[in-house]
Amino acid sequence: MQYPLSPDVKPEFCTTGSFMRLPSKRDGARLAILGMPFDTAASFRVGARFGPQAIRQASMLLFPYNPVQGLYPFEETHAIDIGDLSVIPHSIQRSYQIIEAAVADVLRQGMVPIGLGGDHSVTLAALRAAAKAHGRLAVIHLDSHTDTWDTYYGEKYWHGSPFIRAAEEGLVEPSRVFQIGIRGSLNHPGDLAASLDLGYNLITMRELRQRGVAAVVAQVKERIGDRPCYLSFDIDFVDPAFAPGTGTPEVGGFTSYETLEMVRSLTGLNYVGFDVVEVLPSYDPVQVTALLAAMLVYEFASHVALNLRARGEAWPVPAVPEPAPAFR
């Protein structure tokens, strides 16, 4: 791949279809992006199967250098994009098998996966693969919903149940699971009690606002320590004024700026996987949701690059001349 990736190399609107035009293969890759376009476990709006490609399209606006973290996230990780997995639209169990196998393969090759959903049900399959590779996981779950509802019309596997199933299957360490940003109306008080009964740390959006991000992030870091950690981000964590393109929006969330600052502050954890889910392009007419999701992927990759740097394992960045200013 020619470096740097900038408009004077290839116009932003000329896409290969991958995230930031990343290759599908590269020697020594330590990060892999993969689409998990399954959405038929959703309870309200469907269409998140088109989320991965919308996020990739929006990523064309991003440049390679992250000035906040001071690194080139995709070069220092030699990142690749392996494309969308061939999920089975009418079968969640067969789709789980496909997703789990693909994530397991990424992990076996020494790469950290970043999954692009799809509805939130896909996270369970990724957690299965990560737990087999690393043991019981710590989890940072940023969402407006707990997703610990047991059944929906008698079905145990849907986008509202991945985190109750993860506990039942022993994939996570409950005391090191943080569900942050929870808000909205409920059927009954038990909707929140279900997470607490599992032993999860539940921090509502109201508590997050009252305590402040710094205090909550400090608690997360202290409790998780160096345990293998998976970060799952439901785009409805963000207020729908800033991320309207999602299936079950809840008002009263963070702005896009606040969201990015919080994610950036979650440095120093032993990340073994990430996902961003529930991006629904048909409700995102000006691409603000997809662009925010692409920025989140960018920040997730930056966390991986920071960890590689700390271990002395980051790929060196080629020396390049100062580029000419980019005009848009």
* Residue 47 in domain: yes
Q: What is the pTM of this model?
A: 0.93
Range of the domain at 176: 28-310
CA atoms of 156 and 159, how far apart (whole Å): 10
Question: How would you classify the pairing of strands 31-36 and 80-84?
Answer: parallel
CA atoms of 45 and 90, how far apart (whole Å): 16
* Residue 10 in domain: no
Cα separations (Å) of 77 from 52, 103, 171, 301, 312?
21, 17, 27, 8, 12
Overall domain count for the chain = 1
Cα separations (Å) of 231 from 140, 180, 275, 303?
5, 11, 7, 11
* Residue 169 in domain: yes
* Residue 15 in domain: no
Q: Beta-strand (E) ranges in 254-319?
A: 270-277
pLDDT tens string 113-146: 999 999 999 999 999 999 999 999 999 999 999 9
pLDDT tens string 63-87: 999 999 999 999 999 999 999 999 9
Q: Which amino acid is at 232?
A: S
Does residue 282 carry a pLDDT above 60?
yes
* Residue 327 in domain: no
Question: Of 82, 115, 144, 75, nearest to 293 (Cα)?
Answer: 115
* Residue 318 in domain: no
Band of residue 183 on the pLDDT scale cut at 50, 70, 90: very high
